[in-house]
């Protein structure tokens, strides 16, 4: 067999192996419960940036993407505001009147939340910004516990601060 034919055969063999490897890896990823998300919502102007995975907790239907509307809701005391960032982040600065309910401590803080609000109360949840889905995770847990009026401020603390709106701090 001429050398050219052998090289051509080797290239085809490598190409076939690569196609098989790609197909197998995509198949395993698709059927894995912890697979890598291949699609997502990457435009920050449309809400929280997130990969769409099997465990996706982002529900864009409950997002509020207008910081002026959020400011009006807070000023008019239309909502109970929950900051789900860490306690240290909350202490460094938070939206006016917000209560600290860190997502990482959900089980510990949930009884306090039940004392604070009724399940029919209008609740606004936020975290650090559009690249953070903690607010959606927290909101999803509230909805699972039959809270009925839960919304998420998608821009979160970062957007609020960038807009130059008033923030509160817990000074020690």
Three-state secondary structure call for residue 132: coil
Domains in the chain, number: 2
Q: Residue 92: which CATH number?
A: 3.40.250.10
71 and 3 together in one domain: no
Asked if the structure places residue 17 within a domain, the reply is yes
102: region left, alpha or beta (phi > 0 left; psi from -120 to 50 alpha): beta
- The pTM score is 0.69
Q: For residue range 126-166, what is the model confidence (pLDDT) as tens digits? A: 999 888 889 988 999 999 999 999 999 999 999 999 999 99
pLDDT band at 44 (very low <50, low <70, confident <90, very high): low
pLDDT-derived band at 48, boundaries 50, 70, 90: low
Look at the alpha carbons of 114, 116, 121, 122 in this order and tell me if their dihedral is positive or negative: negative
| Owning domain of residue 86 | 40-162
The sheet with strand 80-83 has its strands ordered as: 63-64, 149-153, 122-126, 80-83, 99-100
What mean pLDDT is reported for the chain?
85
Percentage helix, strand, coil for the chain under 3-state DSSP, each rounded to 5: 50, 15, 35
Q: Are residues 24 and 53 in the same domain?
A: no
- Say if residues 68 and 156 touch (Cβ distance below 8 Å): no
Same domain (yes/no): 156, 108: yes
């Amino acid at each position: 067999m001429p050398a050219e034919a052998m090289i051509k055969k080797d290239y085809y063999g490598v190409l076939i192996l690569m196609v098989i490897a790609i197909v197998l890896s995509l198949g395993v990823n698709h059927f894995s419960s912890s697979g890598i998300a291949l699609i997502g919502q990457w435009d920050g102007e449309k809400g929280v940036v997130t990969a769409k995975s099997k465990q996706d907790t982002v529900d864009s239907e409950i997002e509020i993407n207008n910081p002026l509307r959020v400011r009006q809701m807070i000023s008019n005391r239309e909502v109970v505001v929950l900051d789900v960032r860490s306690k240290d982040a909350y202490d460094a600065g938070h939206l006016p009147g917000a209560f600290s309910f860190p997502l990482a401590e959900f089980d510990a803080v949930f009884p306090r939340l039940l004392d604070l609000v009724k399940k029919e109360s209008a609740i606004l949840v936020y975290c650090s910004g559009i690249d953070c889905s903690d607010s959606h995770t927290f909101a999803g847990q509230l909805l699972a516990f039959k809270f009925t009026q839960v919304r998420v401020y998608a821009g979160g603390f970062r957007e609020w601060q960038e807009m130059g709106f008033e923030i509160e701090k817990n000074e020690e």
